[in-house]
Amino acid sequence: MKKIKAVILGYGDRSSRYAEYAKLVPQELEIIGVIDISELKLKQAQAKFDLPNGSLYANLDAFLQANVACDVVINGTMDQLHYVTTMALLERGYNILLEKPITANPQELLDIREKAREKGCKVVVCHVLRYTPFYSTIKKILDEGKLGKIVNMQLNEHVWHGHFVNSYVRGKWRSEKECGSGLLLAKCCHDTDLMCWLNNATVPAKVSSFGSKSLFCEKNAPEGATQYCYQCPHQKDCMFDAYKFELEKDFIPFYTWMGIEKPLDEITVEEKKEFLKKDVYGQCVYKTDMDIVDRQCVSVEFANGSIGTLNMVGGASKAGRYIHVICEYGEIVGYIEENKITVREFDKKDVWYHESVIDFSEQNDLSKEDNSVGGHYGGDFYIMQDLVRYLNGEKTSVSTTVIEDSVNSHLICYAAEKARKEHVVVDISKEYGNQ
C-alpha cells in the first residue's frame, strides 16, 4: 500500500487531529505541507511534522502557485471558506478531505459535487461519527436485515455546557452571520448524516422543525449585568463568569486563548485576564452577539414512510448522544458515552424478544488512546484509516463518506432551518429538486 502524502489547509483543531494519524501510523500517511494565514500555526505544524520552510504557505494562492504534488488536501478551514477553497482545489485536480459542514448554501453544495465529478476528484466529508465502532456496528446490524426495515429513528444530542459556551455562545460558531452556519448545520449535520446513512434504503422527503434561542439571551441576564464579566456585580454568583468558566475551569483552551496568538504554555495568567476584558470570551453569556438557536427539534419523513427525529439541546450539564432505531422485527438502543448498544430481536415463536448487549469499551486499538469527545470516540482515527485505503483504491469500510453521500444530510439541515424560520413543512424535492 502506497504511503499517502497530504497537505493541510487551515491548521486548526480538527485538521490537526486528522493529521495525528501521520504520527500514529507513519507508514501510511505523511504530512508534506501546511497552509495557514497564522504564522504561529505554521510554526507549530512545522515543528510537529518536521517540515522545511519551503513546505509552509501563508495562503491558498501561494500553495496553488507552487504546483505541489500530493495525494490529498485536508481542508480544515472555517465553514464560510469551504466553498471557495474547495472549488479552487478541485479546479486544480486535488483530492480533498473536507471538514463538515460542506457549505451552508444548497447550490454551492451541488456545485462542489458536480466539480468533483467533472475533475474526477475524490472528496471525503468528515462525518467522523460514522467511523466509530458504536455507529458502524449499528449500521452493519441494520444492513444484515434480520431486524427488517427501519420504522422510526430517534436521535438526541445534548451539547455539554462547557463545549456549548466555548464554541457557540462565546466561540467562533456563535454567529450564523459571521461563520455562515447555524447550529444545526455546524453541530448536528453529524446527526442528520447518521439518520440518512442508517436509513439509506430511502431518502428524506419532508422536514419540519422548531427551535429558538431561549437560554443564552438577554432576558435571562441578572438585573444589572454588564457586557463584560470583569465589571459585573454578579460575577461571584454566576456559573458562567468568564474568570471562573474560562480562566479557572479552562474547558477548551485551544479555542478560548487563540486570539492571543501565542503557544498555550507561554500565555501568562495576567495576559489571559487582560484578554478577557476586551474579547468575546470575557463577555456575559446572555449578552454576546450569538444569533443561533440553543435548542431545536427536527422531524423527517422519508420517501418510504419511515420517520426520523432529532432533538438537540445546547448547554446541557452532561454531553450525550442517544439513538433508538425501531425496525419491523426489533430495535437498537444506545448511548455513545456509555460505549455500548442493546439489540433486541423478536422471537416470532413465543412473541417476545431476545436481547444482547455489545460493549465497545473492551476494544483495544490505537484509537483508544484518544477515545474522547475530542477524538469522536475513535472516529478521527478510523476516518483517516479509511481515507488511506480509499485513496489507494482498496476496499473501504461501510462508513466511507464520499461527497455524493453527504448531500441528503445537508438538505435536511437546509430544509429544517427554512421550516423553523418560516413555520412550514418543507418538501425537499420541491424546494431543492431531485438530487
Q: What is the pLDDT of residue 349?
A: 77
All cell numbers assigned to 137: 456496528
Q: What is the pLDDT of residue 92?
A: 98
Q: What is the pLDDT of residue 370?
A: 43
Q: What is the pLDDT of residue 53?
A: 96
* Sheet with strand 56-57: strands edge to edge: 56-57, 29-35, 4-9, 72-75, 96-98, 123-125
End-to-end CA, the chain: 35
CA 110 to chain centre: 20
Per run of 10 residues, the mean pLDDT along the chain (length 435 residues) is 97 94 97 97 96 97 97 96 98 98 95 97 96 96 96 97 95 89 93 97 97 95 96 95 94 92 94 97 97 97 98 94 97 95 89 90 55 65 96 94 92 97 97 80
Q: What is the pLDDT of residue 177?
A: 86
Q: What dotted CATH number matches 4-127?
A: 3.40.50.720
Question: Where do the domains of the chain lie?
Answer: 4-127, 129-216+290-375+402-432, 218-282
Q: What is the pLDDT of residue 363?
A: 64
Q: What is the pLDDT of residue 122?
A: 97
Which CATH number, 2.102.10.10, 3.30.360.10, 3.30.420.10, 3.40.190.10, labels domain 129-216+290-375+402-432?
3.30.360.10
State how far the Cα of 33 lies from the Cα of 65, in Å rounded to an integer.
14
